Amino acid sequence: MLIRRDASLLLVVDLQEKLLPAIFEGERVIRNSVRLLQGAQQLGVPSFIAEHCASSIGPAVPEIRNATTIETAADPTVSPIFFAKTHFSCAAEPGVLDLLRATGRQQIVLVGTECHVCVLQTAFGLQEAGFDVFLAADATSSRTPENHQAGVERMRAGGIHVAGTEMVIFEWLHRAATDEFRALLPLVR
């Protein structure tokens, strides 16, 4: 099953100021999440950004907030929607499933932290709600590499589709030799 830009959305989970310094390879997670946010915005893929207990953990890191202000979007009105949560799973937070369903899209590309807690519980909650969930494994992590690996393995075993950042971008693009491809090429170089 390929990820289609007209059928998918991007969900960024808990890439927050006080949490990221403790995350294994946090810079990789931020870099790849930014690439996906920028690609999504340029291709008109709706994006959502969750902030878990922001009064304690802080808001989304500046790189995530700034990634959504690019001017080259195909549709400049497509800006990410931020939402607060206290549940580990975004799917358990009141109103979030309705928010995601309102897009009319069935596929969800999932990134964020921590892989073995909030990302995992979100993935399974979304799957239970009927969505096709794709984990961009190189845009997620945990405080330890062991917990990141355990989270990815458990999601894969549970039927979550595991992908990488470039896989998502190239599947959204679907073909080369287009203006969109040329515009997104810097994201995959």
Both tokens of residue 56? 């304690």
**Average pLDDT rounded to a whole number, residues 148-172:** 97
pLDDT, one tens digit per residue, over 47-87 is 999 999 999 999 999 999 888 765 444 454 568 999 999 99
Give the number of other CB atoms < 10 A from CB of residue 39. 25
**Alpha-carbon distance values, 139 to 19, 78, 122, 129, 175 (Å):** 15, 21, 15, 23, 23
Q: Residue 188: which pLDDT band, with cuts at 50, 70 and 90?
A: confident
- Residues 169 and 184: beta-carbon distance below 8 Å: yes
Lowest mean pLDDT among 65-69, 130-134, 160-164: 65-69
Q: Residue 127: which pLDDT band, with cuts at 50, 70 and 90?
A: very high
pLDDT at 189: 82
How many residues appear in the chain? 189
Place of tokens 């961009």: 136
Domain spanning 8-188, CATH architecture: 3-Layer(aba) Sandwich (3.40)
Both tokens of residue 51? 């902030």
Q: How far apart (Å, rounded) are the C-alpha atoms in residues 77 and 124?
A: 30
Both tokens of residue 98? 């309705």
- Put residue 20 in one of left, alpha, beta given phi > 0 → left and psi -120 to 50 → alpha: alpha
Asked if pLDDT for residue 110 goes beyond 70, the answer is: yes
End-to-end Cα distance, the chain: 25
Q: Which among 152, 119, 122, 118 is positioned nearest to 137, based on CA atoms?
A: 152
- Residues 46 and 74: beta-carbon distance below 8 Å: no
pLDDT, one tens digit per residue, over 87-105 is 999 999 999 999 999 999 9
pLDDT at 47: 96
Whole-prediction pTM? 0.94
pLDDT at 75: 53
Asked if pLDDT for residue 25 goes beyond 50, the answer is: yes
Place of tokens 């096709």: 132
